[in-house]
Chains A and B, each alone.
Chain A
Amino acid sequence: GESVGLHLPTLSVQEGDNSIINCAYSNSASDYFIWYKQESGKGPQFIIDIRSNMDKRQGQRVTVLLNKTVKHLSLQIAATQPGDSAVYFCAENRDDNFNKFYFGSGTKLNVKP
């Protein structure tokens, strides 16, 4: 369970603050990106997605930014809550024909009350 975090970059934020989690992707041909949230003992849960013809997309309390020039993706979480504590993964899709995703190594978000 908790030992997963030993190998992951960790971001610690105070409850109520905004969080920014970054991800560098590798393939300039990737055209669809997803941020997933994974809580201990559970599978990844979809948060938000973005296609390569966009540079920003907003959801409820979350925003994803895509910079194709430097192959960088970020996830912004507004007013971070204790329930946001989890490991966050970015995933990239390189093939229009089927959704085979490549995942990053993840960032552990700790929200301090």
Chain B
Amino acid sequence: GAGVSQSPRYKVAKRGQDVALRCDPISGHVSLFWYQQALGQGPEFLTYFQNEAQLDKSGLPSDRFFAERPEGSVSTLKIQRTQQEDSAVYLCASSPRQGNEKLFFGSGTQLSVL
């Protein structure tokens, strides 16, 4: 498809389990973002990649959160030892270049930690 694709669509994890969330951005898009959206709130910035370089990870809540984009296209957000407070929708977005451009969002991965 032409849009940003995320998988899985839903993920249920037991507390303490590790999870990996995948994002396929629009082909050729330089910038890739991860956002976290809690129920009833707006998306909150987690981290940003320009090609394969992670230029900003200031929004990652703890060192249990790790993101990578090794070849500058597909990205993975990994959460280790999941906690209940990690339950949220994780949104991936991409844009063609850097700086002052609109973001194209995927449909997100809804993570529920039991």
A and B bound? yes
Interface of A with B (CB < 8 Å)? 3-8, 31-32, 34, 36, 41-46, 49, 51, 89, 91, 93, 95-106
B18: Cβ under 8 A from any A Cβ: no
B17 within 8 A of A: no
Give min CB distance, A106 to chain B, whole Å.
Answer: 5
Q: Are B42 and A89 in contact (CB under 8 A)?
A: yes
Q: Which residue of A lies closest to B56 (CB)?
A: A100
- Which residue of the partner chain B has the closest CB to A90? B42
Which 7 A/B pairs are nearest by Cβ-Cβ distance?
Answer: A7-B40, A103-B42, A43-B105, A98-B98, A32-B100, A44-B105, A46-B102
Query: B41-60 vs A: 1/0 string, CB under 8 Å?
Result: 11111001010000110000
A113 to chain B, nearest CB (A): 25
Chain B residues touching A, range: 20 to 34
Bound-state Cα–Cα, A44 to B93, Å: 9
30 interchain pairs (CB within 8 A)? Answer: A3-B39, A7-B39, A7-B40, A7-B41, A8-B40, A36-B105, A42-B108, A43-B4, A43-B91, A43-B106, A44-B91, A46-B102, A46-B103, A91-B42, A95-B99, A96-B99, A98-B31, A98-B55, A98-B98, A98-B99, A99-B95, A99-B98, A99-B99, A100-B45, A100-B48, A103-B35, A103-B43, A104-B42, A105-B42, A106-B41
